[in-house]
Structure 1
Amino acid sequence: MEQSATGRLYGVGLGPGDPSLMTVRAVEVIAAADVIAYHSARHGRSIARSIAAAHLRADHIEEALVYPVTTESTDHPGGYRGALDDFYEEAAARLAAHLDAGRTVAVLAEGDPLFYGSYQHMHKRLAHRYPTEVIPGVTSVSAAAARLGEPLVEAEEVLTILPGTLPEEELAARLAATDSAVVMKLGRTFGKVRGALERAGRLDEARYVERATMKGERTGSLADVDPESVPYFSVAVLPSRVAPLTGGPKPASSEDPGRGEVVVVGTGPAGPLWLTPETRGALAAADDLVGYTTYVDRVPHRPGQRRHGSDNRVESERAEFALELAKRGRR
């Protein structure tokens, strides 16, 4: 007797929340699946299921994968991580039973399945055992930039994506050293993230996006947000520093006498790999670079930033020039 073929596993990205942002491929896979699986908290409500609800059928077998814990408080002998590992193993075993029976299983995931998604824990346990396809989805990062209506990164700018669960000192160092950034997983971490942005000197640039594309969406300046009102599904955004061509916020490089300053930084002995996070942050925030040409040339080029290299025998003239730029509001 021939052994029946195993089923196929799909990780289905649903996008940031608005069902109309699901891809055609995601809808096709859901329609063809035998089993629809989705993660939820203990209250039983699943955001992923609600996004895909219009495409679910009465004859779909549904597997609700309910997290046993949603905070780090647990009496599990292995602690929070142990409780989650056991849950992922049990959830994977439930899906494997369907796959072994020849059923097609679609695991629904908000955003993109492999971007901070619960699906990835199923993928790591099952993809090497069964035919698997991952359907990419629009991430909350892209949705947040779209809802703000501001470019996220341009030209040679660097985008850094951070979980808000990092220590405040680590967040501050990374935020100071990058061009653009998105900080995920706010909620209870909001106060710490706000503090890190302030320490990095970037609070004034920071934008806030809550429930992008979903009911209850809110956007605005992060500095104005009440920490008690922030849910988990919210992000902090540092948009592109490249000045807009028309309209929009006042460019960061506008000459405002009240914001000018001179910052003296050391660039280390041998280029970008030797820069400290504080130096990277100061260089990224600068409108103008003034210095010995050999040293200025070691600094990566940034769109809109002016470079003023000169001979190493004109120290006093360089200092005077830098002070004059600062008087005009340049950094």
Structure 2
Amino acid sequence: MSGKLYGIGVGPGDPELITLKAARMIESAEVIAYPAPDPGESFARAIAAKHIAGDTREIVIRIAMRAGHVPSEPYDRAAEAIAAELEEGRDVVVLCEGDPFFYGTFMYLHDRLCPRFGCEIVPGVSSLTAVAAAASRPLTRRTGTLNVFPATLDPAILKARLSESEAAAILKVGRHLPQLKELIADLGRLDEAVYVSHASLPQQKVVPLAELEADEAPYFSMILIAKVER
């Protein structure tokens, strides 16, 4: 009998935001897998570290990410290694920062493996809700709507969509920060925007976008745009 694949959301960074179910499953896992930069340490593993037993087998998914490009080879190799464990009847827990299905790396393994094996998703606290909490900004209220955009969108497309949005979140800010500030200012919405980086972590930063003096942002940063109601 084949093992089962689990996609586990470990939250935005604060280890205390791991759900009870995720912690229990990580603690009992015989095999875990997780993404890591190439080179570098895995953020997902660091979040879950205290729940990983010493004898747990680990599959590291090394990914050299480039802007706007999702490489297929690392996920193909990881899927092959995970499939070998599943075929031997061993369950595999895959750690994913935030939530597995909200811009999560696990979705690429899900595409490759879940048609062949049993699969369960354990949702996690997403970066979106963590940023809203850090900024003390409700995302929506009553009949309001929220749009979510990656900063990697074509600027003209992003500007057009933002102009039609009641409230919006822009993820993956990084090197796009100066361009985003200019675009949001052109729309007359700079005073509605707040910048958050490293939400839930000790180095968390929350600043009105109009007051932010920086030319670049870390990958784990987001801009929220919405009118503040009193």
| Coarse TM-score class (shorter-chain normalised) | over 0.9
Residue type of the alignment partner of 1:20: E
**TM-score of the superposed pair, with normalisation by structure 1:** 0.67
The count of corresponding residues between Structure 1 and Structure 2 is 230
Contact 2:193 2:210 (8 Å CA) reproduced: yes
Alignment pair present for 1:192 and 2:192: no
| CA shift for structure 1 position 175 | 1.2
Contact 1:171 1:193 (8 Å CA) reproduced: no
| 2:152 aligns with one of 157, 165, 174 | 165
| 2:7 aligns with one of 8, 11, 18 | 11
Cα distance in 2, alignment partners of residues 64 and 217 from structure 1: 27
| 2:193 aligns with one of 206, 226, 234 | 206
| 1:28 aligns with one of 12, 24, 29 | 24
**TM-score of the superposed pair, with normalisation by structure 2:** 0.96
| 2:65 aligns with one of 60, 63, 70 | 70
Cα distance in 2, alignment partners of residues 56 and 72 from structure 1: 31
- 1:6-58 per-residue CA deviation (whole Å, 9 max, x = no partner) reads 11100000111111111111011112211111101012301100000010111
SS at match of 2:3: coil
Cα distance in 2, alignment partners of residues 12 and 226 from structure 1: 36
Cα distance in 2, alignment partners of residues 210 and 41 from structure 1: 19
- 1:278-302 per-residue CA deviation (whole Å, 9 max, x = no partner) reads xxxxxxxxxxxxxxxxxxxxxxxxx
Alignment CA distance shift 1:16-1:128 (3 Å): same
Aligned-pair Cα RMSD in Å: 1.5
Contact 1:176 1:201 (8 Å CA) reproduced: no
| 1:122 aligns with one of 109, 119, 123 | 109
- 1:181-234 per-residue CA deviation (whole Å, 9 max, x = no partner) reads 100001111122222212222111100000000121000111222333510100
Cα distance in 2, alignment partners of residues 120 and 227 from structure 1: 32
Alignment pair present for 1:57 and 2:57: no
Cα distance in 1, alignment partners of residues 99 and 202 from structure 2: 20
Q: Where in structure 1 do 4 or more consecutive aligned residues deviate above 3 Å?
A: none
Cα distance in 2, alignment partners of residues 132 and 234 from structure 1: 30
Q: Which has the higher strand share?
A: 2
Higher relative contact order (CA 8 A, sep 6+): 2
Cα distance in 2, alignment partners of residues 193 and 70 from structure 1: 21
Cα distance in 1, alignment partners of residues 80 and 36 from structure 2: 17
Could you list the runs of 5+ residues in structure 1 that have no partner in the other structure?
74-79, 245-331
SS at match of 2:93: strand
| 2:120 aligns with one of 117, 124, 133 | 133
| CA shift for structure 1 position 72 | 4.9
* Aligned residue number for residue 324 of structure 1: none
SS at match of 2:215: helix
Contact 2:33 2:59 (8 Å CA) reproduced: yes
| CA shift for structure 1 position 242 | 5.9
| CA shift for structure 1 position 87 | 1.9
Matches within 5 A, 1:139-288: 139-239=126-226, 241=227, 243-244=229-230
Could you list the runs of 5+ residues in structure 2 that have no partner in the other structure?
none
Alignment CA distance shift 1:229-1:204 (3 Å): same
Residue type of the alignment partner of 1:243: E
Matches within 5 A, 1:301-316: none
| CA shift for structure 1 position 91 | 1.2
